[in-house]
Amino acid sequence: MAGDHSEFEKQIREVLGTIQDPETGRPLRKQIRQVEVSDQQADVSVGLTSHCWPLRDEFQSEVETALQGKFGTDKPINVAVELQERPAQAVGQVGITAKSIIAVAAGKGGVGKSSVATSLAQALKKAGCKTGLLDADVYGPSIPHLTGARGQVSKVDNKIQPMVVDGIPVMSIGFMVPPGEAVIWRGPMLHSAITTFLRDTAWGDLDYLIIDMPPGTGDVALSLSQMLPLTGAVMVCTPQEVALIDAIKAVGMFRKVKIPVLGLIENMSSFVCPDNGKEYDIFGKGGAEQYAKQDQIDFLGSIPISIDLRKRGDAGEMLKNFDDPNVAPTLETIATNLCRTLADRVKANPIQAQLPVLK
């Protein structure tokens, strides 16, 4: 009966209207794309932005669970999640259009920040997000090396064109000074380099800008935080106690300059010996996760020590990590966990500002 159908449709829409959009935390409205009820079934289609695309499966389950919770399973309700874009807005005064700007940082050098930043950018890109990668380590840029991108950037219409590697726009001081040329950075120069990266680079529309930070925090974090509101920082540390102590210090510094610490990643966690398959905890185990829990920081995942990962870094072939069953799942999980952390934060504190209309 048509009357019953339209009542059921209305009820379905009501349930959908209680679900929060993971990008904004607001209840679904324009993202309810279709609700069609027939005698046999109901078909529901809801939109999700590419920013949250890594959460697609869990978003679909959330919608299904909410509908089943209300209506039971007598009549099948099919849920489809479709890509629906909401354009990114300019962030701060520098004109960059990105939805989330994430700094990857650590208390000390050599813990794998650059490798993690590159992997995170690649994992998000692979999962369907528009992602850019900025090498803010002006003292020791390693993103050109890790991504295999060589050469110098050029300008078009007064904007620097970033290198594009595997569909990811990448920018580094290494693309601006000839290789091997030493740059001695002083405060104002540092600030102007960061300005160039953010204001003068044609990044395009981004869901995520991943920033590989120099070791420690200090000047660059401060410059960045003065120029644009960072969504937050992701801290990398190894299981060693000294690395953890430095990471805790860095967390304190980030919080002091009001950059939220979103999550902690443990790198070089354990080593699985390729000869005998045995696992060795070379730098210890579990300390980072325990600390994260204590300090209410999300633990995003741990990456094992992998000889292949190191080799791919040296060869500029980091993307091949995603074909490697020993590291791919953890890299993908870390990216999904970061998206979920961001979603949880906006759900707890929905975005109030006016936003561009969904397409």
Ligand X SMILES: Nc1ncnc2c1ncn2[C@@H]1O[C@H](COP(=O)(O)OP(=O)(O)O)[C@@H](O)[C@H]1O
Would you tell me which residues interact with ligand X (CB under 6 A)?
A: 106, 109-115, 142, 267-268, 303, 305-306, 309-310, 313
What x/- string results for residues 162 through 201 when contact with Mg ion is judged by CB under 5 A? ----------------------------------------
Which C-beta is closer to ligand X: that of 72 or that of 180? Answer: 180
Q: What is the closest distance, in whole angstroms, from the C-beta atom of residue 221 to ligand X in the complex?
A: 15
62 CB contacts (<8 Å, ≥6 apart)? 19
Q: How many CB atoms lie within 10 A of CB 166?
A: 14
* Interacting partner of 81 out of Mg ion, ligand X, none (Cβ under 5 to 8 A depending on kind): none
CB of 203 to ligand X, least distance (A): 22
Strand (E) or helix (H) holding 289: helix 287-294
CA distance 91 to 333: 27
Q: Which does 24 bind (CB under 5 to 8 A by kind): Mg ion, ligand X, none?
A: none
Closer by beta carbon to ligand X, 42 or else 236: 236
Query: Within 183-240, where are the H helices?
Result: 187-199, 218-227
Place of tokens 């309810």: 32
State the binding partner of 305 from ligand X, Mg ion, none, CB within 5 to 8 A by kind.
Answer: ligand X
Structure tokens at 72: 């039971």
Minimum distance from CB of 137 to ligand X (Å)? 7
Region near Mg ion per CB under 5 A, out of 94-102, 131-139, 183-191, 272-280: 131-139
Nearer to ligand X, 103 or 303 (CB): 303
3-state secondary structure of 181: coil
Minimum separation from the CB atom of position 328 to ligand X (A): 13
Choose between 16 and 111: whose C-beta lies nearer to ligand X. 111
- 236, amino acid identity: V
Report, in Å, the least distance between residue 269 CB and ligand X.
Answer: 8
The item of ligand X, Mg ion, none sharing an interface with residue 337, based on CB under 5 to 8 Å by kind, is: none
Torsion angle of the four alpha carbons 336, 339, 344, 345, in this order, in degrees rounded to the nearest 10: 150
Scored b (16 or more CB within 10 A) or e, 17-50 reads eebbbbbbbeebeebbeebebeeeebebbbbbbb
Question: In what helix (H) or strand (E) does residue 195 lie, and over which residues does it extend?
Answer: helix 187-199
Q: Hey, what amino acid is at 116?
A: V
Q: Between residues 115 and 223, which has the closer beta carbon with respect to ligand X?
A: 115
CA distance 295 to 264: 11
The reply to whether 341 sits near Mg ion by the rule CB under 5 A is no
Return d(Cα 69, Cα 74) in angstroms, integer. 12
Residues 48, 31: Cα–Cα separation, whole Å: 7
- In the bound state with ligand X, the residue whose beta carbon lies nearer, of 306 and 341, is 306
CB 170, CB 163: distance < 8 Å:
yes
State the minimum distance, in angstroms, from the CB of residue 135 to ligand X: 10
Residue 267 binds which one of Mg ion, ligand X, none, with CB within 5 to 8 A depending on kind? ligand X
Closer of 251 and 309 to ligand X (Cβ):
309
Residues, the chain, total? 359
The answer to the question of residue 114 lying near Mg ion (CB under 5 A) is: yes
Type of residue at 240: Q
Region binding Mg ion by CB under 5 A among candidate stretches 6-14, 65-73, 134-142, 148-156: 134-142
Which residue, 196 or 326, has its beta carbon nearer to ligand X? 326
Among Mg ion, ligand X, none, partner that 313 touches (CB below 5 to 8 angstroms by kind): ligand X
Rounded Cα distance between 332 and 291, Å, is 23
Contacting residue, 142, 172, 201, 336, with Mg ion by CB under 5 A:
142
Using CB under 5 A, list all residues that contact Mg ion: 113-114, 137, 142
